[in-house]
Structure 1
Amino acid sequence: MPTAVESVAAQDAPSLAKIISHVVDLWPEHEKFLTGSLAGLDSRALRGTEEIAGLVWKLVEPEMADVVASYRWVCRRLLDEELYFRRHGCYRYASVREVEESGFYDSEDIHHYHRGLLLSQVLWRNHADVSQVYVRDFLSRCAAGSRLLEVGPGHGLFLALAARHATQALTGWDISPGSLHYTRRNLAEMGVHGVDLALHNIQDGVLGNDGFDRVVASELLEHVDDPGEVLRSLTGVMRPGAEIFINVPVNSPAPDHIRLWNTPDDFFGFVSSNGIIPTKTYAFPMSGYSEQRALDARVTISCVVIGEVK
């Protein structure tokens, strides 16, 4: 059986191969997971993953050993959260205040968390699949000159992809100065400039007088106390005819996840009940699982809605 590196190195995915090679060198036991995660990639999926890997490589190359250490920390921490989820049937925390009081946001853990999750964008099949439908089925429909907003842009990868594939009229809003600093630094390292990044709460409405043609909320709603109110606020900044891209993981325990949806249908129904007409929906189970097996085992499924305002 080919190794994880061999399964991509023989094809045109040099950045992905470099990332995998470093991870396997520093964490050999993880190779079996990586090989399974990459098994069966067709040429289109490989090209899409390689594009993300090229961006991630720009961010991690100077400190790859530390990034792999953070990635290992993330995997261990998520396993702890998974065990809690199995025992109690719920996430550890039920409100933003509880997460804040845990000290997670103020500790070294948050640095490990952000840095380690960068690698998950290409090494975890569900994360890579989300990025690919974002480019293929959402950005591809973005007209020249469209105004795109991402709320909670985090690592900046989705804004960087939008700059490549869709539009230069890009905006990012976040309520955390530290998160905005992280996004700004990452965008600069990926060679993306001119993004309007602002400290702003989506629930306060539009900054200025104009709305947006494209709105992105990727892995945002599971972090907030009232995701329905946030989703309705997102629809409020959309122009007539605008589209929204929403990505949420169900059954996905993490140290800062507070809203649990149990199935993709639960989440899709929630979106429909809060002012969005889904035009496309997707469910991407975690590496190594079919959707049905993931549902039976109650493991992570990344759910995507592309929709428009009712």
Structure 2
Amino acid sequence: MSLLSRNELFSKWSSTLGSARYRLLAIRRQEGFEEVKRKRIIIDKEVSRILYLKFCESEPRISVKYRLIEGKIEAYEMPLDPHALIQGELFHIMGNWSNRLRVLGELDVIVDAESVYRPDICVRPKNRHQPPSTLAVNSSGNPYPTLVVEVGDTESLNSLHNLAEKYFSQQTTIQIYLAVKLYPRRQDNTFALLAMLYLRNNQNPTTPVVVKSFGTAPLSRSSQIYLQNIIQAEAISGVGFGGVPCDGTNIAEYQIAIPSELIFNDVDGVDGVDGVQGVPNNFTIDLWRLKDAYINM
């Protein structure tokens, strides 16, 4: 492909992604089937990973979030206030965990031969072993993060859940995936929030090990049915599942423990972190802080 034709193609993608903004903004948010199964907007098909990464490296000015999924460029999220505030709060929480960690914003992450994701947050320990170029996170040649985070506002619950499979593919060395689903406010101004934690070392990595409802209202029936189809009902906890209200800091039920051993995977002298100065066995996310950010946006 000539430079001119490539630039024309990139311009076309940028324009179409810009138009996707209006389609995403036009979504009528209701807590039914759409919040569980909403489809992403396909921008183009049969796109090579190499060409897609060159497009990303050209730093196009685009106001929607997009990724490459099995050769298709798809727009899936509008980074409006709710998304940005939760992303920012998580960034602040994780940035205070340890000076041995680098907390990165959006980063193109190769997950297989035809797919490139862009998580909202990546956490990578310092001094993780340098991989061969074929197993690098992207064209930078750097190692993969050990933790990735996705925040879904307009993105559906089904879409967030399905990302786990490729985040834990044989291509990557990602160890932890955290998904946070934001639901729209209801007529009475209450809302549901959901956090799901996935671990590569789980017997089934694509099944979350933690599923917590932590909003001011229970999950919708559609979301409950969906979750119960992928995980045992008793494994879901929090608001609407017998939990106490998430109405203050440091409530034990609303702490998510992130295993340090997985965060520091493939780092000499830190794996198996017991006894390493300044590194606890688990890092913690207090879900009340996310709820508070959502309330006070």
TM (norm. structure 2) is 0.33
Kindly indicate which of the two structures has a greater share of residues assigned to strand.
Answer: 2
Q: Of Structure 1 and Structure 2, which has the larger fraction of its residues in helix?
A: 1
